[in-house]
Chains A and B, each alone.
Chain A
Amino acid sequence: MRKFTTLTAVAAPLVRANVDTDAIIPSREMKAVSKTGLAEGLFAGWRYIEIGGREPNPEFVLNRPGYAGARILLGGENFGCGSSREHAVWALAEYGFRAVIAPSFSPIFYGNCVRNGIVPVKLPAQAIALLAAAVERDPAATPLTVDLVARKVGAPDGQSYDLPIEAEAREMLLEGLDGIDLTLKQRAAIEDFHARDRAERPWIYL
């Protein structure tokens, strides 16, 4: 997994409540058993004029001038709700996003971000509104900074916020760690657990 330390980049405001994973990557855009080939389908229902088409909708934030190369997404409450599909995060990552800032996230989406090198940043709605307002005045000239090392989010106008994140999620993102490798180091503890548990709950062990 790609490591994440600090990033200063264009941010795209999509500050709507309940942006669901069907909206991030519609089912019809998940065309193969694959983690790739998804960037084109990102936000397809909003980004293109016709369902299934590819003509850009000029109103949608990612198609507006100044937002080319956006790497940070500003979202609304309950971001990533709905289906557990990790394709939503794979699509965001393939498009180029490395951080999503929202007041709250669906728990599954949050976990999927951490496992794919995207930093999920929880900030109060008020802070996000201020950041979005600053960005919208001149997106290209107002890159935001997500600093996972210093645990800060900032804007060129001096706004600065603490970045809250669990210790393990931060570690995994900073080091680009694979959870399976980490866990396999605990193999002995896992085997001990199973030996003990099998005696206590034999019906679990089919």
Chain B
Amino acid sequence: MATAAEARAGGEARPAPASLFDKIWAQHVVRELPGGAALVAIDRIFLHERTGSIALKSLAAAGRGVLHPRRVFCTMDHIVDTLPGRGDDTRMPGGRAFITETREAARAAGIHLFDVRDADQGIVHVISPELGIVLPGATVVCPDSHTCTQGAMGAFAWGIGSTEAEHALATGTLRVNRPKTMRVRFEGRLGRGVTAKDLALALIGRHGSAGGNGYAVEFAGSAVRALEIEARLTLCNMATEFSAVAGLIAPDDKTFTYLEGRRFAPRGADWEAALDSWRGLAGDEEAVFDRELVLEVDEFAPMVTWGTSPQHAAPVTAAVPTLEASGTTREAFERALAYMGLESGQPLMGLPIDAAFIGSCTNSRISDLRRAAAILDGREVAAGVKAICVPGSMSVKRQAEAEGLDAVFRRAGFEWRESGCSMCFFAGGESFGRRERVISSTNRNFESRQGPETRTHLASPETVAASAVAGRIADVRELMG
């Protein structure tokens, strides 16, 4: 069987079958570079106040300008507070400087800025699709690892460092080693209470946190086609936890319907031309991938993590695995269990929790909040559990309030916040407590990620909501009508 590279080289008169990734790559190569890399054109650059600020500042210090400022966007999401009445001051020590320096640098560079009080402010990977900034077939970069989220729109979107961001800003290109390609097909129908988040955790749990290393991963199959756009964003969001360069989903009518009329989406004749072009992006039937995985989803259950890597994931109905079943080394396994205060064989369901968090670029969109609210409606968070909901953007927040979801969250005992990354990570300001057990709709359960020695269990928003009500890790299906 031909490898993907051989298939691409082809040499036949007919063009070799191409995948979605192959097509986007081919459209953006400015020039091949020696040794397999290429100079790739960048269509959209997003920055935020934590890593974008330093890129803008360093670029200016080097006397370089931004080549295409109208195609560069910046938001305040990582450091900005999410408590009501927020401004430039932050709970994080020194946070104010990140915000004010980013504002000054963004204004000087003439790029779009979604400032602290902007109606469109929000988490970069929530607002980019929401505003029609990321488009099918586009290349999108941001100095943020979860940029892969945006690949759900049919784009090649990936996280970079600050130095690379400077390169993209100054030249409108990046020097990129062509990634290998992988297709992950999720086939079948999702059961009740099983979501895109559970697909991602099941994939990483099965194939490891380095399973996608070096690959641009296309998510496909009947279960992916059936996902709505926001759920696709959740799935692609976790591609970086799989160590993939990017996650992509072929754009379809759902994608086009979602984008039409959004603030930065094409209009009029441009929209029609764009649609024509986008309809040709889906991969050819015979496209060859360097690796293919197939997962049958019918029997999947809601997932929860038990350790300190997203690969430490199990069905909520399972127990903490044995070393042999854990897919990890003895050292990593023992370290993770000691950190989490757990033992092999302990059931996950029923573990008492101290806190519940709904938010982050993974699961803070309106559909996430609706599903969590449906669980919380008429119920209350268990005594002693701190519960927080942080909408992913101000637009999501307004929509939720228009639907009365904020009242549901508040009545249940959740805090209702302004949008931002918030307590997905601990930056020296707000945090969960030492050895507190938190169930969280976020993406990383690393040691001390959400607070010093905080024990994070990743799950879907509805599993977080159900667990908040129970005061312990719960199977959301038991609360569903």
Q: Which of A's residues lie within 8 Å of B, judged by CB?
A: 16-18, 20, 22-23, 26-28, 30-35, 45, 51-52, 76-78, 81-87, 89, 104-108, 111-112, 115-116, 166-168, 171, 179-180, 182-184, 186, 189-190, 193-194, 197, 200-206
Contact = CB atoms under 8 A, between A and B. Distances in A.
A179 B176 CA distance: 11
B36 A166 contact: yes
Contacts of A166: 35-37, 177
B448 A82 contact: no
B328 to A, nearest CB: 7
A22 B444 contact: yes
B16 interface: no
A86 B143 contact: yes
B53 A78 contact: no
Contacts of A189: 30-31, 39
Contacts of A182: 175
B214 A107 contact: yes
B51 A86 contact: yes
Interface residues of B, number: 84
Interface of B: 27, 30-31, 33-37, 39, 41, 43, 50-51, 53-54, 57-58, 62, 64, 70-71, 92-94, 97-98, 101-102, 135, 137-138, 143-145, 147, 159-164, 166-167, 170-173, 175, 177, 179, 209-210, 213-214, 240-241, 243, 245, 264, 266, 270-271, 273-274, 277, 308-309, 311, 328-329, 331-332, 335, 425-428, 444, 446-449, 452-453
21 contacts: A18-B309, A22-B447, A23-B446, A27-B426, A30-B427, A33-B53, A78-B213, A83-B144, A84-B147, A85-B161, A106-B145, A107-B214, A107-B243, A166-B37, A179-B163, A180-B62, A197-B27, A200-B277, A201-B277, A203-B266, A204-B135
Given A108-B160, A183-B39, A33 B57 contact: yes
Contacts of A200: 277
A86 B243 contact: no
A206 B70 contact: yes
A116 B210 CA distance: 23
A204 B138 contact: yes
A107 B270 CA distance: 35
Nearest to B269: A202
Contacts of B37: 166-168
B477 to A, nearest CB: 30
B41 A183 contact: no
B446 A82 contact: yes
B53 A179 contact: no
A124 B397 CA distance: 48
A86 B161 contact: yes
B421 to A, nearest CB: 10
